[in-house]
Amino acid sequence: MAADMHQNLEILYTRQQIAERVAEMGAQITRDLNGEKLVMVGVLKGAAPFLADLARAVNVDATFDFVATSSYGCGQRSSGAVKLIKDLDEPVEGKNVLVVEDILDTGLTLNYISKLVMAHQPRSLSIAALLDKPSRRKMPIQARYIGFTIPDAYVVGYGLDYAERYRNLPDVCVIENPETN
């Protein structure tokens, strides 16, 4: 699905820009791991495309796991408290864990997931977020690896949705008046 199929979408980062940045992030993660193994924990559903690309950009011995959360409240992204829908499948005690997220917004989700992972006593815990919206932060969460720092716009594509749509756009786009799109 291409962004130009939708009138209200404006490309923020093209697929080429994303691919270049993901390659850089993968190289940095590879350097930092210094030959150690990695457990990549994707946060469903939005992180799926980013995890798939980042995993192939790291040159390390990596395994995958997935968690799923949802936020309560008024029904929009990033509102209210966090509920766990799917826990880790494998124990991460003593392992290097990289939580992979499409977007770090209020930080509520990653605050919750960080505590969840830390309770299993990993060797290390880091966060990779493709997008960071620091202006919206409610919890003091920082990602070690950030793709792009963005303003407070509603973004879709490359995993990010509006009402479950647009996740399969290859580019990250700003959506204007999403209800009319």
Residue 65 or 101: the one with the smaller Cβ distance to ligand PRP is 101
Which of 6, 21, 77, 165 touches ligand PRP by CB under 6 A? Answer: 77
Query: Phi and psi dihedrals of 146, rounded to 5?
Result: -125, 130
Which residue is catalytic, options 53, 105, 132, 171? 105
Active site residue 87: no
Q: Among the candidate windows 12-20, 53-61, 100-108, 171-179, which touches ligand PRP by CB under 6 A?
A: 100-108
Please report, as residue ranges, which positions from 110 to 129 form the binding site for ligand PRP (by CB under 6 A).
110
Q: How far is the CB of 24 from ligand PRP (least distance, A)?
A: 22
101 touches ligand PRP by CB under 6 A: yes
Using rule CB under 6 A, residue 78 touches ligand PRP: yes
Ramachandran class of 75: left when φ > 0, alpha when ψ lies in -120 to 50, beta otherwise: left
Beta-sheet pairing, 96-104 with 38-44: parallel
Stretch that binds ligand PRP, among 34-42, 43-51, 58-66, 86-94 (CB under 6 A): 43-51
Task: State which of residues 41, 98, 109, 150 lies at the interface with ligand PRP (CB under 6 A).
Answer: 109
Query: 104: closest CA among 123, 84, 130, 81?
Result: 130
Can you tell me which of 26, 42, 49, 107 binds ligand PRP, judged by CB under 6 A? 107
Considering beta carbons, is residue 27 or 81 the nearer one to ligand PRP? 81
What type of residue sits at position 37?
K
We find the least distance from the C-beta atom of residue 76 to ligand PRP, in angstroms, to be 9
User: Between residue 157 and residue 176, which ones bind ligand PRP under the rule CB under 6 A?
Assistant: 161
Structure tokens at 20: 């270049």
To 5 degrees, how large is the angle CA 55–CA 10–CA 100?
Answer: 20
Q: Which residues bind ligand PRP (CB under 6 A)?
A: 43-46, 70-71, 77-78, 101-110, 161
